[in-house]
Amino acid sequence: MKKIIKYVTADILRNKIVLAYTVLLLIISFSVFALQDDASKGMLSLLNITLLIVPLMSVIFSAIYIYNSAEFIELLVSQPLKRKSIWLSLFYGLAAALSIAYFIGAGIPIIIYQPSATGFIMLGAGIILSIIFVAIALLAAVLTRDKAKGIGITILLWLYFALIFDGLILFILFQFEDYPLDKFMVFTSAFNPVDLCRILILLRMDVSALMGYTGAIFKDFFGSQTGSFVAVTVLLLWVIIPVWLSMKKFKKKDL
């Protein structure tokens, strides 16, 4: 397994996109912190980048990488190797490359300008989102043989998590505004890792005062120890379930 991870990582590094992504994140992060004197305003800008660009980059790069490695996978499958370790190595390689990219690109500026609990939560959120979207890409790529279709699906999934989900929530909120939906909102946030991360970070910032009564409920739940434990578990499940499903599928896939 170690050997395959080594070859996968070497292969990812050889194609310089991840390197470019790291540099891009570095430039953005340093510039948002340098533009304002108030580091917490910089954090707010960085939050939006973490929640939009990081998932997009992870999901598309991983999906394209899996499709382009079809030959590599085919070659490995005919060798004395477990399919499970081939698939997990691809996952580990991609997850490691993209999390390290986020750690260097956004983590270092955060540690320099905002070495607070909020900063570290943001760093953790960015890394876990990178990994979650690698897992989602793996699942999409194993389910569809056609490359264009698979990449299309990953883009739609990203749109769903980044935009459509919020739209749906707003729609439900306005339709049922006469009912108490606050507990329901806490529950639905589990179905979107991007939203979950957004809530976890926003609650730590001053702007959470603007979130009104629902914000208070969120703070009540996610501020508690059980709440943060539940949130982390849910995020981990967002990694484990797609990886597990994709592996099950990959084990039976004809190559």
Partner 1 sequence: MIIASNLTKRFGKLKALDDVSVNFMKGECIALMGPNGSGKTTLIKSILGMVVPDSGFITFNDKNILRDWQYRRHIGYMPQIGRYPENMTIGQVIAMIKDIRSPYNTAFDEELIESFGLNAMLKKRMRTLSGGTRQKVSASLAFLFNTDVLILDEPTAGLDPVASEILKEKIKAQIKKGRLVIITSHILSDLDELVTQVIYMQEGKLLFHKNINILRNETGQQKLARAIVSVMHNQRS
Q: Which residues bind partner 1 (CB under 8 A)?
A: 3-4, 7, 11, 14-15, 69-72, 74-83, 252-255
Q: 81 — phi, psi (to 5°)?
A: -140, 150
Contact 156, 165 (CB under 8 A): no
Least Å distance between CB 144 and partner 1? 15
Pick 14 or 117: Cβ nearer partner 1: 14
**Neighbour count for residue 243 (Cβ, 10 Å):** 22
Least Å distance between CB 34 and partner 1? 37
Pick 41 or 83: Cβ nearer partner 1: 83
Pick 77 or 205: Cβ nearer partner 1: 77
Distance (Å, whole) CA 242 – CA 237: 8
Q: How far is CA 235 from CA 114, 162, 177, 226, 238, in A?
A: 24, 16, 28, 14, 5
Pick 34 or 255: Cβ nearer partner 1: 255
Q: How far is CA 207 from CA 9, 146, 158, 185, in A?
A: 40, 44, 26, 19
Least Å distance between CB 200 and partner 1? 39
Least Å distance between CB 71 and partner 1? 4
**Neighbour count for residue 198 (Cβ, 10 Å):** 18
**219 contact partners, CB below 8 Å, separation of at least 6:** 203, 208
What is the dihedral angle through the alpha carbons of 211, 217, 220, 226, rounded to the nearest 10 degrees? -120
Pick 29 or 69: Cβ nearer partner 1: 69
Tokens encoding 186:
């806490």
Least Å distance between CB 243 and partner 1? 20
Least Å distance between CB 2 and partner 1? 11
Pick 72 or 165: Cβ nearer partner 1: 72
